Amino acid sequence: MKPIALTRKEFIRNSALALTGATLIPGMLVAEDRRELSPQTLAGHQGKKSYSLKNVLLETGFEYDGNGNVIATKTDLFTVQIDGGKIKKIGPNSTDANAVDAKGRLMLPSFRDMHIHLDKTFYGDKWQAVRRGAGGVKGMIALEQQLLPELLKNSTYKAEKLIELLQSKGTAFARSHVNIEPTSKLDSLHHLQLALENKKNSFGAELVAFPQHGVYYTDSVPYLKEAAKTNIDFIGGVDPFTIDGAIEKTMDFTVQLALDHNKGIDIHLHESGESGLKTVEYLIKKVNENHALKGKTYLSHCFVLGRLEKAKQQEIAEKLGAAQIGIVSTIPFAGLIMPIPTLLENKVTVMTGNDSIVDHWNTFGTGSVLQKANIAAQVYGQVTEYGLSRMLKLATAGPIPLDDKGQQQWPKPGDDANIALIDASCSAEAISRISPVASLIYHGNIVY
């Protein structure tokens, strides 16, 4: 892996970023680490995909003070046996010379970037800063229509380089939006599918058919219908009022297309005024009318939630939770504070991602969702051992080692062997210090 060097101006740059290597790139591991945690180490086991990791640090519970407050995380060293892409057994630490030495690193579930655009990026190519087109979002659409033909020439290569950056940050899975519109037609999709096929043993993904240029503003309808017949996972959308000038018409098409092809829904919603709220409420209505979409429908960004009064935030959060509509939040965005704690309290699934990484929309993506969890902890004042450890959910988009009562819930025998080994003593430290990723395992394959 050999990504290009990038200049980034991060929203929050503190000593943690500089001291812990938050912008670690592939190739920076020392030689000794590469010998210990490389595919070559498993030469005798690769065919069988069966091996053991020793000196693995696992969280076992919380330590409490006399008032019942969590003051530390209990850990111990174990041996973890991996077979056929699964965690087969977790046992006492071993001195087996044939086991791969994890060197006391913390084992966490591998991370998941749940909002990214792998199909259009400058990453892996020469540096370019953002160029703003006149006329807001529609101006940017016009600019993108000019850029896409050139971007598509090597988009498979750049997608692979971007995947390698994500892997170096502990991410083994992504939800990628992929342009479906009259300029690129289905070419962006086909190029990304080729990149994912090339990386299928080391990285997983689900795809969103994304009408970046509007469903009707440009005639994306025939291309979306064609994409829906493929093995994509979600039908996407973007600002139906601002782009297409009609909330209900655009949303009705999106919902029906998802129902007809058994897909989920994931819609970009940047609109933060009345039209944004109406779009949220209309989507809630449509999902409640079509229960097959419950648990399969998401709003990305959904900035309007950050503009509402607290009482209205609570009301909408309750409705989103009841309809099982998730929020994929940008953390942070231009000073906007999303009500993530309120959403979580109302059982709304909240996930995050890097969104743009070095493209014509944004240049600040580092590839690290652990950094996103760190920023969320800072924004929402989660500074305690317990609070920090809960923020790990934003990086994994799923399991974390200890449940809210401190009971070990991951890993368990039978779990997929999707693992990140981190230079940290516990989840709380990993979040607080954005601790470096030493190795990544995907379905049992040591890929970084």
DSSP code for 241: I
118 and 90 both lie in a single domain = no
d(CA 248, CA 298): 17
Residue in 322, 335, 273, 317 with CA at minimum distance from that of residue 294: 322
153 and 277 both lie in a single domain = yes
Residue in 277, 336, 340 with CA at minimum distance from that of residue 312: 277
171 and 295 both lie in a single domain = yes
Q: Is residue 105 part of a domain?
A: yes
263 and 354 both lie in a single domain = yes
pLDDT, residue 139, reads 87
277 and 368 both lie in a single domain = yes
Q: Which of 379, 410, 427 is the last residue of a domain?
A: 379
Q: Is residue 151 part of a domain?
A: yes
- Alpha-carbon distance values, 268 to 300, 344, 429 (Å): 5, 20, 32
Angle between helices 247-260 and 221-228 (to 10 degrees): 20
d(CA 109, CA 107): 7
Residue-wise DSSP of 268-320? EE---SHHHHHHHHHHHHHHHH-GGGTTSEEEEE-THHHHS-HHHHHHHHHHH
Radius of gyration in angstroms for the set of CA atoms belonging to the chain, rounded to a whole number: 22
330 and 421 both lie in a single domain = no
Q: Is residue 295 part of a domain?
A: yes
- 229 by Cβ neighbours in 10 Å (0-12 / 13-18 / 19+) ranks as exposed
pLDDT, residue 133, reads 64
92 and 184 both lie in a single domain = no
Mean pLDDT by 10 residues, the chain (448 residues): 36 34 32 46 53 98 97 98 97 95 98 97 91 80 94 97 98 98 98 98 98 98 98 98 97 98 97 96 98 98 96 98 95 83 97 92 92 95 97 96 98 98 98 98 95
CB 360 within 8 A of CB 130: yes
157 and 280 both lie in a single domain = yes
Q: Is residue 185 part of a domain?
A: yes
Q: Is residue 390 part of a domain?
A: no
223 and 158 both lie in a single domain = yes
d(CA 398, CA 406): 16
Q: Which of 327, 344, 379 is the last residue of a domain?
A: 379
Six-digit token pair at 89? 């057994």
Q: Which of 350, 379, 408 is the last residue of a domain?
A: 379
CB within 8 Å of 335: residues ≥ 6 apart: none
Half-sphere exposure of 167 (CA within 13 A, CB side): 27
Helix, coil or strand: residue 421: strand
Residue in 249, 243, 250, 239 with CA at minimum distance from that of residue 277: 239
Residue in 408, 429, 410 with CA at minimum distance from that of residue 61: 408
pLDDT, residue 12, reads 35
Element of type H or E holding 90:
strand 86-92
Domain that holds residue 68: 15-109+399-446
What CATH code is carried by the domain that includes residue 47?
A: 2.30.40.10
368 and 408 both lie in a single domain = no
Q: Is residue 389 part of a domain?
A: no
Helix, coil or strand: residue 161: helix
- Alpha-carbon distance values, 431 to 204, 240, 354, 378, 438 (Å): 23, 36, 16, 10, 15
What CATH code is carried by the domain that includes residue 339?
A: 3.20.20.140
pLDDT, residue 63, reads 98
Q: What digits encode the pLDDT tens for the residues 11-34?
A: 333 333 333 333 333 333 333 344
Q: Is residue 384 part of a domain?
A: no
- Number of domains, the chain: 2
pLDDT, residue 237, reads 98
404 and 287 both lie in a single domain = no
pLDDT, residue 330, reads 79
Q: Is residue 29 part of a domain?
A: yes
pLDDT, residue 108, reads 98
CB within 8 Å of 16: residues ≥ 6 apart: 22, 374, 432, 433, 434
- 138 by Cβ neighbours in 10 Å (0-12 / 13-18 / 19+) ranks as middle
d(CA 101, CA 443): 18
59 and 154 both lie in a single domain = no
